[in-house]
Structure 1
Amino acid sequence: MAPLSRRGFIKTGALAAALPLAVRATPARAAAAAPPAADLAWLEGAPSLMTGTTFGVPWPRGALRKDQAFALSGAGGALACQSWPIAYWPDGSLKWTAHALPAQAAMPERLQLRPGASRSASAHALMVSERADAIVVDTGVIECIIPRQGGDIIRSIRRGKRETARAGRLVALSDDRPDGSDGTTRQTAFDSQLTRVTLEQHGPVRSVVKVEGHHREAGGTGRSWLPFTVRLYFYAGAESVRIMHTFVFDGDEQKDFLRGLGLRFDVPLADVPHERHVRFGGESGGLWAEGVRNLTGLRRDPGEAVRKAQLAGLAVPPMTERVSRSLHLIPAWGDYSLSQMSADSFRIRKRTKAGHGWIDAAWGRRAPGLGYIGGTSGGVAFGLRDFWQRHPTQLDIRNAHTDAAQVTLWMWSPDAPAMDLRFYHDGMGMDTHAEELQGLDITYEDYEEGFGTPVGVARSSELTLWALDATPARERLVQMAAAVQTPPQLVPAPAHILGTRVFGNLWSLPDRSTPARARIEDRLDAHFDFYRNEVEQRRWYGFWDYGDVRHTYDADRHEWRYDVGGYAWANSELSPDLWLWYSFLRTGRADIFRMGEAMVRHTSEVDTYHLGRFAGLGTRHNVQHWGCSAKQVRISTAVYRRMYYYFTADERIGDVMREVLDADRRLDAVDPVRKIADQPPKGPYPVRASFGTDWASLVANWLTEWERSGSTRYRDRILTGMRDIAAMPHGFFNGDRMGYEPDSGRLHNMIGTGASASHLNAVFGAVEIFDELIALTGDRDFERAWLDYCELFNAPADEQRRRLGKPHGAGNALYLGHSRLTAYAAWKRKDPALARRAWKEFAGPDGRTPPFVPARVAGAAVLNPVTEVPSVTTNDTAQWGLAAIQNLALVGDALPPT
Structure 2
Amino acid sequence: MKWLEQAPRVDTAVQFGRPWAQGELGAAGVPGVRLADAALAHEARPLAYWPDGTVKWTAHAVVVPGGTEAAALEPVLAGAFASELAPAFGSGPATADALPTRLLASSDGGTIIVDTGAFTVTIPTGTGEAGGELSGPFTAPDGRQLGDALRLVVSAPDAQASVESADIETPGSVRTVVRIEGAVAAGGTELLRFIIRLTFFAGQATVQVTQTLLFQDAAKDRIIKGVGLRLDRSLNGDLLNRRVSIAGDTAVYTEPVQSVYSRPFSGDNPDYARQLAGQAVAETKETAEVFAVGRQNAVWSTFRVTQESEDYFRLEKQANARLLPVRMGKGHRSQGLVYAGDTTGGVAVTLRGFWQKFPAALEVDGMAGDSAAFTAWSWAESVEPMDLRHYTDECHVPSAYEGFDELRSTPEGVANTSHISFDFVDASPSNDWLWELACERQQPAQPVCDPELYYSSRAAGTTWGLPETVPAGAAVEQRLDGLVEFYTQEVEQRGWYGYWNYGDFMHSYDQYRHQWRYDLGGFAWANNELAPNMWLWQSFLRTGDARAFRLAEAMTWHSAEVDRHHFGEYSRLGSRHNVVHWGCGCKEVRISMAGLHRYYYFITGDERIGELLSEVRDAEHALDRLDPMREFYERTPERTHIRIGPDWSALVSNWFSEWERTGDTQWKDRITKGISQLEAMPHGLLSGPTLELDASGLDLHHMFTGTEGGFHMIIAFGAPQVWMEVAEALDHDGFRRMLADFGRFYALPEAEKQRLTGGALNDTHFSWPSMATGMMAYGAWYYRDEELAATAWKILLENASGGLTTPFAASLQQAQTWRSVVEHPNISTNWASQWGLNAMLCLELIGPPGSPAGPITHVT
TM-score, structure 2 as length reference: 0.92
- 1:342-379, CA deviations, whole angstroms, 9 ceiling, x for partnerless residues? 00000101121121211111210001111011011011
Structure 1 residue aligned with 2:770 = 816
8 Å CA contact retained: 2:523, 2:577: yes
Confirm whether residue 394 of structure 1 aligns to residue 361 of structure 2.
yes
Q: Quick one: structure 1 residues 275 and 303, their matched pair in 2 at CA, closer, same or farther if it must change by over 3 Å? A: farther
* Candidates 533, 536, 548, aligned match of 2:492: 536
Gaps of 5+ in 2: 82-95, 854-860
* Candidates 676, 681, 692, aligned match of 1:723: 676
Counterparts of 2:838 and 2:769, CA distance in 1: 10
* Paired AA for residue 424 in structure 1: Y
* Paired AA for residue 882 in structure 1: L
Confirm whether residue 115 of structure 1 aligns to residue 77 of structure 2.
yes
Confirm whether residue 368 of structure 1 aligns to residue 335 of structure 2.
yes
Confirm whether residue 214 of structure 1 aligns to residue 171 of structure 2.
no
Question: Mean Cα displacement is larger for which, 516-525 or 536-545?
Answer: 516-525
Structure 1 residue aligned with 2:433 = 476
Counterparts of 1:252 and 1:728, CA distance in 2: 47
Structure 2 residue aligned with 1:292 = 257
Per the TM alignment, residue 746 of structure 1 is displaced from its structure 2 partner at its CA by 1.3
Confirm whether residue 86 of structure 1 aligns to residue 86 of structure 2.
no
Structure 2 residue aligned with 1:273 = 239
Per the TM alignment, residue 327 of structure 1 is displaced from its structure 2 partner at its CA by 4.2
8 Å CA contact retained: 1:103, 1:237: no
8 Å CA contact retained: 1:72, 1:80: no
8 Å CA contact retained: 1:734, 1:756: no
Counterparts of 2:210 and 2:799, CA distance in 1: 48
Q: Matched residue of 1:354: which SS?
A: coil
Confirm whether residue 312 of structure 1 aligns to residue 277 of structure 2.
yes
Question: Mean Cα displacement is larger for which, 641-650 or 785-794?
Answer: 785-794
* Paired AA for residue 870 in structure 1: P
Q: Matched residue of 2:551: which SS?
A: helix
* Candidates 21, 25, 34, aligned match of 1:64: 25
Counterparts of 1:539 and 1:893, CA distance in 2: 36
* Candidates 448, 464, 468, aligned match of 1:491: 448
Counterparts of 2:419 and 2:360, CA distance in 1: 13
Q: Quick one: structure 1 residues 189 and 42, their matched pair in 2 at CA, closer, same or farther if it must change by over 3 Å? A: farther
Question: Mean Cα displacement is larger for which, 293-302 or 863-872?
Answer: 293-302
Counterparts of 1:842 and 1:386, CA distance in 2: 37
Counterparts of 1:674 and 1:755, CA distance in 2: 11
Q: Quick one: structure 1 residues 172 and 755, their matched pair in 2 at CA, closer, same or farther if it must change by over 3 Å? A: closer
Matches within 5 A, 1:419-818: 419-427=386-394, 439-446=396-403, 448-514=405-471, 516-675=472-631, 679-682=632-635, 685-751=638-704, 758-806=711-759, 807-810=761-764, 813-818=767-772
- 1:483-538, CA deviations, whole angstroms, 9 ceiling, x for partnerless residues? 12111211111100101112332211112321x31111111111111111110000
* Paired AA for residue 496 in structure 1: L
Gaps of 5+ in 1: 1-39, 175-187, 431-438
Structure 2 residue aligned with 1:168 = 150
Q: Matched residue of 2:770: which SS?
A: coil
Counterparts of 1:134 and 1:215, CA distance in 2: 22
8 Å CA contact retained: 1:72, 1:81: yes
Q: Quick one: structure 1 residues 759 and 326, their matched pair in 2 at CA, closer, same or farther if it must change by over 3 Å? A: same
Structure 2 residue aligned with 1:28 = none
Q: Quick one: structure 1 residues 791 and 757, their matched pair in 2 at CA, closer, same or farther if it must change by over 3 Å? A: farther
8 Å CA contact retained: 2:473, 2:848: no
8 Å CA contact retained: 1:295, 1:302: no
Q: Matched residue of 1:496: which SS?
A: helix
Per the TM alignment, residue 787 of structure 1 is displaced from its structure 2 partner at its CA by 1.3
Q: Quick one: structure 1 residues 317 and 629, their matched pair in 2 at CA, closer, same or farther if it must change by over 3 Å? A: same
Q: Quick one: structure 1 residues 299 and 189, their matched pair in 2 at CA, closer, same or farther if it must change by over 3 Å? A: farther
Q: Matched residue of 1:817: which SS?
A: helix
Counterparts of 2:407 and 2:514, CA distance in 1: 33
Counterparts of 2:771 and 2:715, CA distance in 1: 9
Per the TM alignment, residue 222 of structure 1 is displaced from its structure 2 partner at its CA by 4.2
Counterparts of 1:847 and 1:658, CA distance in 2: 38
Structure 2 residue aligned with 1:97 = 58
TM-score, structure 1 as length reference: 0.88
* Paired AA for residue 745 in structure 1: L
8 Å CA contact retained: 1:756, 1:809: no
Counterparts of 2:375 and 2:849, CA distance in 1: 60
8 Å CA contact retained: 1:703, 1:714: yes
Q: Quick one: structure 1 residues 829 and 209, their matched pair in 2 at CA, closer, same or farther if it must change by over 3 Å? A: same
Counterparts of 2:331 and 2:451, CA distance in 1: 39
Question: Mean Cα displacement is larger for which, 330-339 or 340-349?
Answer: 330-339
* Paired AA for residue 323 in structure 2: H
* Candidates 299, 317, 322, aligned match of 1:332: 299
Counterparts of 2:850 and 2:6, CA distance in 1: 36
Counterparts of 2:495 and 2:14, CA distance in 1: 30
8 Å CA contact retained: 1:634, 1:694: yes
Structure 2 residue aligned with 1:869 = 824
Q: CA RMSD in A?
A: 2.5
Per the TM alignment, residue 48 of structure 1 is displaced from its structure 2 partner at its CA by 1.6
Counterparts of 2:509 and 2:282, CA distance in 1: 63
Counterparts of 2:101 and 2:730, CA distance in 1: 45
Q: Quick one: structure 1 residues 240 and 670, their matched pair in 2 at CA, closer, same or farther if it must change by over 3 Å? A: same
Counterparts of 1:756 and 1:292, CA distance in 2: 66
Counterparts of 1:535 and 1:890, CA distance in 2: 32
Per the TM alignment, residue 309 of structure 1 is displaced from its structure 2 partner at its CA by 2.9
Counterparts of 1:576 and 1:604, CA distance in 2: 13
- 1:290-337, CA deviations, whole angstroms, 9 ceiling, x for partnerless residues? 111122455236965523432332221333221233443121111111
- 1:433-468, CA deviations, whole angstroms, 9 ceiling, x for partnerless residues? xxxxxx422221125454111111010100000111
8 Å CA contact retained: 1:717, 1:744: no
- 1:722-749, CA deviations, whole angstroms, 9 ceiling, x for partnerless residues? 1101111100111311111111211111
Per the TM alignment, residue 259 of structure 1 is displaced from its structure 2 partner at its CA by 1.0
Q: Matched residue of 1:144: which SS?
A: strand
Per the TM alignment, residue 843 of structure 1 is displaced from its structure 2 partner at its CA by 2.0
- 1:562-597, CA deviations, whole angstroms, 9 ceiling, x for partnerless residues? 001100000111111111011011011112111101
Structure 2 residue aligned with 1:41 = 2
Structure 2 residue aligned with 1:177 = none
- Give the aligned length: 825
Counterparts of 2:367 and 2:598, CA distance in 1: 44
Per the TM alignment, residue 855 of structure 1 is displaced from its structure 2 partner at its CA by 3.5
Per the TM alignment, residue 66 of structure 1 is displaced from its structure 2 partner at its CA by 1.2
Counterparts of 1:743 and 1:123, CA distance in 2: 45
Counterparts of 2:247 and 2:220, CA distance in 1: 37
Percent identical pairs in the alignment equals 37
Per the TM alignment, residue 625 of structure 1 is displaced from its structure 2 partner at its CA by 0.4
Q: Quick one: structure 1 residues 692 and 897, their matched pair in 2 at CA, closer, same or farther if it must change by over 3 Å? A: closer
8 Å CA contact retained: 1:580, 1:592: yes
Structure 1 residue aligned with 2:92 = none
8 Å CA contact retained: 1:398, 1:405: yes
Q: Matched residue of 2:381: which SS?
A: coil
8 Å CA contact retained: 2:9, 2:437: no
Q: Quick one: structure 1 residues 681 and 615, their matched pair in 2 at CA, closer, same or farther if it must change by over 3 Å? A: closer
